[in-house]
Amino acid sequence: MSQDTRRMFPVVVLACLAVLLIAVPAFSQSASGVRTSQILGGEDPSKQIAVTFWLNQHDKAGFDDLVRQMYDRNSSNYHHWLTLSEYKTRFAPSAGDMAIVRQHLAANNLHVVATDQLNHAVTARGTAADVQRATGVQLNRVLINGEVHRLPSAAPVISGAAGKLVSAVQGLSDLTYHNYAKRPIDPDTGKPTAVVPLYHTGPAEKFFNADCLRGTQTKVFKTGGGGPYAVYTGARYGGPITAGPPNLPPCGYDSPQVEKAYGLTSLYKEKLDGTGQTIVIVDAYGSDTITTDANTFAEINGLPPLTASNFNIYYPTGPTNCGGNTCGWDVETSLDVEWSHTVAPGANIALLLSADNSFTNLDLSVLYGIETGLGPVISNSYGIGEIVLEIEDPAELTVQNTLNELGAALGVSVNFSSGDDGDFSYAYGVTTVSMPAASPYATGVGGTSLFLNSNNSIKLQTGWGNNLTRIALATPNPPVIPPDIIGFYAGAGGGTSAVWPKPAYQGSLPGSWRLVPDIAFVADPYTGAEFIDTENGQQFISVVGGTSLACPMFSGMWAISTQAAGAWLGQAAPLLYTLPADAITDVIAQNGPNNVSGLTNSPPASPVYYSPEALAAPLENTVDFVSLLYNGTSTRWYVISFGTDTSLTTGPGWDNVTGLGTPNGANFVTAVAAAVK
């Protein structure tokens, strides 16, 4: 791989891998495979910091056992969710507990700025010196991969009566969650493909090419003056890069196409569209133009408009501190709203916008969604490698699992995207899964690559994972000899948790640890979905993927299932593993109808043959895959593969890319409703 190529496809070691700092903190587990970083010194003692103290629930063992019974068909408590009042009386931290913790904060000059209605959390602000005194831990500045972050040197030690009441403290580190929206890119620049400005739209207007898997072609690439040449043969990805609407590159699907592919049309005919339900979406920052953009999307795709009667925005942690769609979550927010609305057009949407993407504010936003009972499903399209939390911020593991369990106890399914980095080995140098998707009380949503027939039925579906190989340079397209193996771009996250034991609902699966994901929807940005957004004052349409796309789609499906059942269903994952075979389409590894192979000739050397396997490298554990000839946006040519997801593999039954598979339209909804009768 060339040096330039490595710059375009970096081994993304996220700055959050502060893990590897200095001395691994005393509360850390083994940091095998993670390198150390440099401590720059203590945090500025005068720096203002917000910290959140999370309080212990009462009778935690009793609460855990009751939640277990709620998901045990043989229990009299099966699906008997707690009311908010019952939970408050029996298990929630008390007002007295909160008063003691507040006293501790005040004694250390920390000013309380917010609490929740059930006394789970209290957020306070003060200087770093005050925070260190209140938590008994040194805060350091650490240089990690060129970025400076704040990290605690050890686990908090809280003195006095408050110490027995506090389960976790957030804000000691400044690590953040990352959204899992993924755009198709120009492999030569690493930048997303060009957007299409919207100057005029109509309900029947089509934009992007939906014919992602085309017929077989032979491409000959020559060097001027009779020099080296190459010949490649294989099926073709998409159409010409010069095509206009409705065949703009890259490939991308609109709402009617996806509705047909996943068998949703028959549900709508039966008035099963999410009516009476609310999909709760949690995002950071948001988009200043989300209502206008979502309604343009609705107009183009024949969906109901979003109005004050079916779409509301909440700010659980106060106003967002980023304007003008400049903080990188506007694409995420747009696709979350637009594609949950696509799947469940009759459902209401409650968009909860966190002030930023800090662990604290996103967690408090999820807590708000649970405590206010806004809806039966909460969609979250973000995460971070479990190993980061395991080593650097284990308090966040505690907080997230507690939140998800609380949702499960109140009848809410808290869903999370499984990630876009496969097994995370390219991101962190070690394999891990995404958290919070790995929480046993969350439902993890993985991703697929989706190819359609001309009638929008599914032609081929496999697990999402893309590799790229450059085979010819820009026009006039001289060959690249030998082909430049760019390698892995992105793929659905999954695998085995190193933290959470296997929950009962995965009892039929191998091993002793929680496996991710549980279910899937389309996520591949190269077989992605259209979305509308506005940046720099210009509204545009483009194509997006990532498990950020799959999660709101599944959340929409869960809203429809809840409507059909006539009652809140609780966490989705335990039900998914009980459904009949025809409710979920098993996604298996696919071998392409004509995978790309080639021959290069560079005299005086002998011609060299390149097999499909060589051109789709690195395959790791993958045997079956789809590879296609791809004319990139810069006129260069590539081989792009599908189903090549680091060490993860797609196969019969549950797999670590797509979970159990994808919901099978009406069969899925009918089976879910029947399962709780």
Residue 20: predicted pLDDT:
30
Tokens linked to 599: 């021959």
Q: Which of 207, 208, 204, 213 is nearest to 453 (CA)?
A: 213
Residue 144: predicted pLDDT:
73
Residue 28: predicted pLDDT:
28
The radius of gyration computed from the CA coordinates of the chain, to the nearest angstrom, equals 25
Tokens linked to 256: 């009617």
Give Cα 363 to chain centroid, integer Å: 16
pLDDT mean by block of 10 residues, the chain; 677 residues: 32 33 28 57 96 98 98 97 97 98 98 97 98 96 84 93 97 96 92 88 84 96 91 95 87 96 97 98 96 96 97 95 82 98 98 96 98 98 95 93 98 98 95 98 98 96 98 96 97 98 98 98 98 94 98 98 98 98 97 96 94 98 98 92 98 98 98 94
Give Cα 50 to chain centroid, integer Å: 27
Residue 290: predicted pLDDT:
97
Q: Whole-angstrom Cα distance, residue 154 to residue 143?
A: 17
Q: Using CB atoms within 10 Å of the CB of residue 323, give its burial: 0 to 12 exposed, 13 to 18 middle, 19+ buried.
A: exposed
CB within 8 Å of 102: residues ≥ 6 apart: 112, 122
Tell me which of 3.40.50.11860, 3.30.365.10, 3.40.50.200, 3.40.50.300 is the CATH number of domain 196-591+637-675.
Answer: 3.40.50.200
Domain segments of the chain as ranges: 17-57+92-174, 196-591+637-675
Q: Which of 200, 195, 144 is nearest to 174 (CA)?
A: 144
